[in-house]
Structure 1
């Protein structure tokens, strides 16, 4: 299962002032990440923090997912997670349960395809300039 990691623009509370976005940039697909429920979190008692393999927090699971994932962890179910990819909003991780090993989805690593123009096509054919109004 792929899960989104959000909250990357917030500062970490550690003394070193570690940067979540920078830590995501250092992370590689397949690196283990740790999921830590935070029942004392004042914003959301069901919050689940995500930490890189270097022990730096990179964010939180989304509110929609943290309740169920946190409950599984508190029940003692085995939950393994790996870093999958960075994203504009934060990052993606892969999670597996009950002894299964998470596998990075190779389609998530593929770059967005760049549309190619057909040979001889006009590159400005779909360009529509803004209308110029009289002053």
Structure 2
């Protein structure tokens, strides 16, 4: 399962910089998931730490409750996947084995070449009035 790591713009309590730590991480490097049931903002919060013990962010809040339940029931392993615009991606396996990364997981998907629709087209059709 690939999970988004968010909250990277906030400083850590010890003053370390999450974004800087993310830049030090490389694909396949182990990361640690730490549930924070006493977190004041979200009791389901799951902090993500690098191998150097520096927090790089949190598992996305939408996924955190499910991931927390899986962490409590299974032997999870997690690795750094890649840097993203919003923070980072990690890959988690709940079968006790290190997650596998494919080449496709290590790059940002390309945007499709389809142009978005014009929000204000230059053509406005005439109204069709009912016949009297």
TM-score by length of 1: 0.77
Deviations 1:6-49 (Å, cap 9, x if unpaired)? Answer: 000011011xx100000000000000000000000000000000
Point out the structure with max Rg over C-alpha: 2
The count of aligned residue pairs is 112
TM superposition shift of 1:72: 1.9
1:98 aligns with: 95
TM-score scaled by length of structure 2: 0.79
RMSD: 1.8
| Cα distance between partner residues in 2 of 1:18 and 1:84 | 21
Say which SS state the counterpart of residue 63 (structure 2) adopts: helix
What secondary structure, in the 3-state scheme, does the structure 1 residue paired with 2:66 have?
Answer: helix
> What is the aligned partner in structure 2 of residue 83 from structure 1?
80
- The answer on 1:48 being equivalent to 2:46 is yes
CA contact (8 A) 2:71 2:94 kept: no
Q: Cα distance, 1:112 vs. partner?
A: 6.1
- 1:73 corresponds to 2:67: no
Matched residue of 1:23: which SS?
A: helix
Q: Distance in 1 between matches of 2:75 and 2:33?
A: 11
Gap runs ≥5 in structure 2: 111-132
